[in-house]
Chains A and B, each alone.
Chain A
Amino acid sequence: MLLFWAVAGVLAAAAAGLILMRAAGAAGEAAAADPAPVLYKRQLSEIGDLVDRGLMGEAERKGAEAEAARRLLAASDRIEAPWSADPRARAAVLVAVCAAPALALGLYLKLGAAGLQDQPYETRVAAWQGANLDSLTPPQLAAVMRKVTSERPNDPEGLRLLGMVESASDNPIAAVRALRRAAQLAPGNADIWRQLGEAEVVAGGGKMGAGAETAFNRVLALSPGDAGARFYLARGKAEAGRTAEAVADLRGLLAAMPAGDPRRAVVEQEVARIEGRPAGPTADPQQLAMIRGMVASLAAKLEADPDNPDGWVRLVRAYAVLGDTAKRDAAYSKARAKYAGQPAVLQQLDEAARAETMR
């Protein structure tokens, strides 16, 4: 803090010094002549030069010389009122030299954040690295893991963790990238391939792409009967229109699952969805409470830091899905007003507001 004010003071003093120096220097040259006649004289001599070099004909010369001479005379005749070294000027300069830094100080105290330290990225990541990992948010963990993996680029486990935290920080493309590298380094690790497949599905907007399919097939090759891989592959078949096959695969999966397996509900629901039957109640009360908590925290976050178009879109969609129309409309109109100048955001908001309510 003290250092900051010291530097700011030095800056202000240097500016004042520069002004005083130039003022003193200029006061001395009060008698300098008007340069215009010099210029015209040179223009006159240039005409001779041009003729000498043959670049101007004799006929043109006379006219040009007469004109330049006339201008020279006119310029020499012009008498400017003399400039003076007015003693009162010194006082005025001193006032300005004091007033400018004072004005700057006043404005800075109103607008600036005196003493707020710089926060270079490297320093922050180092601090997170040293902190208790449980206290970090997923994006902070991702930053730490990115640093760790850049130091150990050939460690598949580090890359797998990076992929997990990137997924958790809503960054599926980066997650896919990390997991692909991890899978290259440890091609025999079924867990990595499964995570890669899941990240590919998220990155692809929930659809099975070629990358995801390859990954899940690798999982099955390494760990035959893997439930996750079978589930996603079946879903991929359903997306491709091979409904009967998909349902058969999922039923096979159910048969292989033990009775108490909590994942059964998900698989049953998927079968129902594929067959076009209305699914059972989507969310149990506990899950719903958790979702509501997450939405509330997003709303609070936006209240604190409202400049986040993606956040607003997510919030509006979440309220729409939860069926909370009053809150949806409030958030929607607030965000619309905020992003009135951005048609792209407005369109996203419109789409989010129209999202179907969860049954």
Chain B
Amino acid sequence: MIAEIGAFALILALALSVAQAGLSFAGRMRRSSALAGAGEGAAIAAFLGVAGAFAALMHAFVVSDFSVANVAMNSHSEKPLLYRVAGTWGSHEGSMLLWCLALTGFGAAVAGLGRTLPRGLRALTVGTQGLLGTVFLAYTVFASNPLARVLQPPVEGRSLNPLLQDPALAVHPPFLYAGYVGMSVVFSLAVAALIEGRVDAAWSRWVRPWALAAWSLLTVGITLGSFWAYYELGWGGWWFWDPVENASFMPWLIATALLHSAIVTEKRGALAGWTVFLALAAFTFSMLGAFLVRSGVLTSVHAFAVDPTRGVLLLIILGLTSGSAFALFAWRAPTLGQGGMFAPVSRESALVLNNILLAAATATVLLGTLYPLIREAMSGEAISVGPPYFNLTFTPLMAALLILLPIGPLLAWKRGDAGGAVKRLQIAVAVAVVAAVAVGLLVAPRNTWGALGVALGGWLIAGALAEIAERTRAFRAPWAETRRRLTGLPRGAWGMTLAHLGLGVFVLGAVFEVSWKVEAAEALPVGGALDVGGYHVRLAAVQGVNGPNYDVDRGTVVVTRAGAPVCEVQPERRLYLAGGQTTSEVGICYRGLSHLYIVLGEQRDGGAFLVRAYWNPWASLIFLGPVIMGLGGLVSLSDRRLRLGVGRRRKEPAT
């Protein structure tokens, strides 16, 4: 019965989303508080309905109820509990339900927390959110019902793709989806502002917390996915420019641009049209990602759907929602105000440049992702666009952005002093030069691009710190003064510093890993050894073990350096019983910031195992950097200035 209650709750949520849209728009048109309030009630009820359906599906997965078709297709009674729970969103249908849960959740959040939004804007935002909910819930209910039943349930389920049975991947989709779908609020706010004809500083301040929250969640989600790819796929890499990775990266790039352009709109009232455009584009890219993953046009572990008609439906949804929003934009944008003027060298100009570079970078990623698909559809010829393309297009744009990044925050609004800013960054310049020279001289083999990349990372980190030092007059004013200024800095400023610092940390790790990674592969008998990056890697033993739903060849690998023991890791090769697929569990030996990464491959004739070992220097920074960035987003989100709460208003003097 629980499954059927869930199915009913899902359909009820669809009906409530229709009511949410109708009541909210009618409320705005008639300026009726009661209707708008009813629309908000429907938004909250719709979220509770989807939450009920989600709980019912999770219950079906936990108790292995194979009379639910989705469970039969994607679960197995012997799967560990964590992966039965995670199986809820491990399939196309379940992940659509997660998408709807996030969508209605954000709608309910606007309805419940949006008290400080102007009436009309709030009603239109809730209404737009209701329209989005209607479209996606209708798609889920009619074309991808996760709670569809079968009358003759199979004895056993087909199980979840073993690659997805991993802790990082169990939590990666909720973060990613919360991030993707968080952009829907920004989208709805933009549509509402276009209808109201009101895009001003106040509006951008209302947009910022939602954009920040979505951006931070997306940052964490992408990082988790990348970390998973790093240690689960066993290819020794962490980013493959795979279309699915690009699909998550494009909304991130656009959201990053949006966060920066919204500052200009907030502080100076300028760039209003562009900010609205980005707000619409961010969710459009989220939906494009959803389409790419589900259309069957990609082959990847992420490619759920096998059914092109579902893909076409999603393409229609994408066209309708984004198409009408951009049409509204084309119609209403000319009425938006111009805002304040600014000089070519100013904080505003720096942020505009940031936006141009980020938008261009997004365009290159979009081209690199879609071109092979379009070409294959047109001529049937499969081509692959890989790292060489992105290294030539994306990387130079990003490098330019990163070189300019530390200068921007040191420029004044309206009219800045570029020379002064660079002068204040003397220390950062010095750090970058010293880093490049030191790396060039000390790290073998010589790698000029690597040294330049390390300089860039140093420049970013030192630049972020120099900016804080500048704002607090560190080393120039007495310590008491600096401390007073430090404690007085708004959280938003700390958030920015952390985000920029995190980017520098990431760049350091990425450059070091890419430039100086060493790999070795050999078929080793038990007792055999290979050398990589100065380490001696010996396959001491391989033992057969039974896992919960898989059999394991568990290697014991002993690592020594110049005879001294360093560590012992146990890479695994797993054979999943349902489906008979094999996966590898990488053994990673952490050496400071660097990783010694060991993969146990298949057994060759004669009993030797193929062992691959990688020395990935500073690889930890690749994942630490984005975590710092996400943290920066959350710190910025906690800035009281963003909380336009009712409670605070009481403290203002009455007028």
Contacts and interface: CB of A to CB of B under 8 A. Distances in A.
Interface in B332-388: 340
- Of the listed residues A3, A46, A55, the one surrounded by the most CB atoms of chain B closer than 10 A to its CB is A55
B34 A35 contact: no
A25 to B, nearest CB: 6
B202 to A, nearest CB: 4
Interface SS, B side: helix
B392 to A, nearest CB: 30
A107 B141 contact: yes
Interface in A58-78: 60, 63-64, 67, 71, 75
B644 A39 contact: yes
Given A19-B19, A40-B202, A11 B32 contact: no
Given A19-B38, A20-B41, A104-B14, A4 B31 contact: no
B485 interface: yes
Contacts of A304: 152
Contacts of A115: 1, 4
A112 B4 contact: yes
A287 to B, nearest CB: 28
Interface string A1-20: 00110011001101100111
Interface stretch (B57-65, B90-98, B162-170, B234-242): B57-65
Contacts of A43: 201
Interface in B33-63: 33-38, 40-42, 44-45, 48-49, 52, 60, 63
Contact of B546 (A64, A85, A177): A177
B156 A143 contact: yes
A29 B49 contact: no
A71 B201 contact: yes
Contact of B7 (A32, A112, A305): A112
B41 A22 contact: yes
Interface stretch (B117-125, B457-465, B608-616): B117-125
A11 B201 contact: no
B219 interface: no
A22 B37 contact: yes
B620 interface: no
A60 B415 CA distance: 10
B268 A67 contact: yes
B65 A60 contact: no
Contact of A63 (B12, B119, B414): B414
Contacts of A122: 63-64
Contact of A341 (B154, B306, B485): B306
A296 B399 CA distance: 65
A259 interface: no
Contact of B12 (A60, A101, A171): A101
A92 interface: yes
Contacts of B38: 19-20, 22-23, 26, 89, 93, 96-97
B413 A107 contact: no
Contacts of A64: 413
B16 A15 contact: yes
A42 B652 CA distance: 8
B113 to A, nearest CB: 13
Interface in B639-655: 641, 644, 649, 652, 655
B512 to A, nearest CB: 35
A104 B63 contact: no
A177 B33 CA distance: 67
B37 A27 contact: yes
Interface string B3-14: 111011101101
A116 B488 contact: no
Given A35-B117, A92-B26, A113-B4, A119 B41 contact: no
B40 A84 contact: no
A124 B471 CA distance: 68
Interface residues of A, number: 93
Contacts of A34: 118-119
B473 to A, nearest CB: 7
B599 to A, nearest CB: 23
Contacts of A143: 77, 155-156
Contacts of A101: 12, 15
A262 interface: no
B179 interface: no
A342 B41 contact: no
Contact of A107 (B11, B30, B153, B299): B11
Contacts of B19: 19, 96-97, 99-100
Contacts of A46: 641
Nearest to A150: B78
A120 interface: yes
- Of the listed residues B7, B60, B151, B340, the one surrounded by the most CB atoms of chain A closer than 10 A to its CB is B7
A177 B577 contact: yes
B400 interface: no
Interface in A38-58: 38-43, 46, 53-55
Contacts of B471: 55
Given A39-B202, A55-B485, A121-B64, A92 B35 contact: yes
Contacts of A108: 7-8, 11
Interface in B434-480: 471, 473
Given A15-B45, A22-B40, A305-B152, A83 B31 contact: yes
- Of the listed residues B37, B117, B484, B641, the one surrounded by the most CB atoms of chain A closer than 10 A to its CB is B37
A84 B31 contact: yes
B577 A11 contact: no
Contact of A35 (B9, B44, B488, B644): B644
B119 A93 contact: no
B528 interface: no
Given A118-B2, A341-B307, A343-B299, A22 B117 contact: no
Nearest to A137: B155
Given A27-B37, A54-B473, A93-B34, A7 B5 contact: yes
A85 B34 contact: yes
Contact of A19 (B42, B201, B205): B42
B33 A55 contact: no
A120 B63 contact: yes
Nearest to A19: B41
A228 interface: no
A65 to B, nearest CB: 12
Given A19-B41, A83-B119, A173 B577 contact: yes
A130 interface: no
Contacts of B655: 41
B88 interface: no
A111 B11 contact: yes
B41 A53 contact: no
B190 interface: no
A273 B478 CA distance: 96
B149 interface: yes
A100 B119 contact: no
Contacts of B618: none
11 contacts: A3-B1, A18-B44, A25-B37, A26-B34, A39-B205, A64-B413, A83-B119, A117-B1, A119-B66, A119-B67, A139-B156
Given A19-B19, A34-B119, 18 more contacts: A11-B8, A18-B42, A18-B45, A18-B48, A19-B38, A27-B34, A38-B649, A53-B485, A55-B489, A86-B32, A93-B23, A100-B12, A103-B15, A104-B14, A108-B11, A111-B141, A118-B63, A139-B155
Interface of B: 1-5, 7-9, 11-12, 14-16, 18-19, 22-23, 26-27, 30-38, 40-42, 44-45, 48-49, 52, 60, 63-67, 77-78, 111, 116-120, 141-142, 145, 149-156, 200-202, 205, 268-269, 296, 299, 306-308, 340, 412-414, 471, 473, 481, 484-485, 488-489, 546, 551, 575, 577, 580, 641, 644, 649, 652, 655
Interface of A: 3-4, 7-8, 11-12, 14-15, 18-30, 32, 34-36, 38-43, 46, 53-55, 60, 63-64, 67, 71, 75, 80-86, 89-90, 92-93, 96-97, 99-101, 103-104, 107-108, 111-122, 124, 137, 139-140, 142-143, 146, 169, 171, 173-174, 177, 181, 304-305, 339-343
